[in-house]
Amino acid sequence: ELTQEQLSLLNYILDAYNKYRIPLDMAKNLLQEQFSADENFILLTEMATSHVQVLVEFTKRLPGFQSLDHEDQIALLKGSAVEAMFLRSAQIFNRKLPHGHSEMLEDRIRKSGISDEYINPMFNFYKSVGELQMTQEEHALLTAVTILSPDRPFVKDVLSIERLQEPMLEVLHTFCKLHHPHNPQHFARLLGRLTELRTLNHHHTEMLMSWRVN
Amino acid sequence: PSGNSIGLEAIIRKALMGKYDD
């Protein structure tokens, strides 16, 4: 079972995660308007910027984050922003959307000018996250674990970050055991998605380059 | 670092300070 302290931590993270959203108007644009490839590029760029802004707000609420060295805070956010964005978009993509919206979203992304070489692994990732049928709690904790990864480039105080990440991993582990008693591999599978995210992060720079060239 | 990561860092720094304007 989760201890009282762990339960408080979980609820706190979940609450912060639920508030972490891009403005609704921007999300509506994505589904309602018809844009040219250029306008698609600008809209997706604005959404990415907005995503980083709300991600920072979520991250500020992670217990202990604000007591970290300021440059380490930036190194953690810089290292994880792309992964958190893919994780978040995987969650949105796997949600039950109104009829036709998933197709429209996929179509818009596919027509944004990014090569299939980069688009396909992204949709494969979305599908592999979808198969896990993650709860909101699992998404919140996995995002926190991703952000508080001590092995990001330019991090100085690895130990302090490990101390913040560990309780999140413990809560996630216990939560998985409680909610998936018949699937002992669930926790390991969640962590496996983090490995996939690292690969997507690695290819992200090349993906942006191909987007710009196109 | 690439131009992209500088842009990302600028957004992060502004957001950490609570500035969203530009």
Kindly report, residue by residue over A68-110, the tens digit of the pLDDT: 999 999 999 999 999 999 999 899 888 877 777 777 777 777 7
Distance separating alpha carbons of residues A9 and A148, to the nearest angstrom: 15
Instruction: Provide the pLDDT confidence category of residue B6 given band limits of 50, 70 and 90.
Output: low
- Of A63-72, A111-120, A167-176, which range is least confident? A111-120
Distance separating alpha carbons of residues A76 and A146, to the nearest angstrom: 9
Contact: B12, A77; criterion CB under 8 Å = yes
Distance from CA of A183 to the nearest CA of B (A): 38
Distance separating alpha carbons of residues A23 and A33, to the nearest angstrom: 16
Look at residue A40 and tell me whether its pLDDT is greater than 90.
Answer: no
Q: Between B2, B12, B20, which is nearest A74 by CB?
A: B12
- Of A133-137, A191-195, B1-5, which range is least confident? B1-5
Is A214 or A52 the better-scoring residue by pLDDT? A52
- If we measure between CA atoms, which residue out of A84, A61, A67, A73 comes closest to residue A12? A61
Amino acid letter, residue A28? K
Contact: B4, A56; criterion CB under 8 Å = no
- If we measure between CA atoms, which residue out of A188, A190, A176 comes closest to residue A146? A190
Q: pLDDT by residue (tens digit) across A167-190?
A: 999 999 999 999 999 999 999 999
Chain B residues whose beta carbon lies within 8 Å of the beta carbon of residue A60? 16
Please tell me whether residue A2 adopts helix, strand or coil conformation: coil
**Is residue B11 within 8 angstroms of chain A, CB to CB?**
yes
CB pairs under 8 A between A and B: 31
Buried b (16+ CB within 10 A) or exposed e, A9-21: bbeebbebbeebb
Distance from CA of B9 to the nearest CA of A (A): 6
What pLDDT score does A33 carry? 64
What pLDDT score does A13 carry? 97
What pLDDT score does A39 carry? 77
Instruction: Provide the pLDDT confidence category of residue A20 given band limits of 50, 70 and 90.
Output: confident
Contact: A52, B2; criterion CB under 8 Å = no
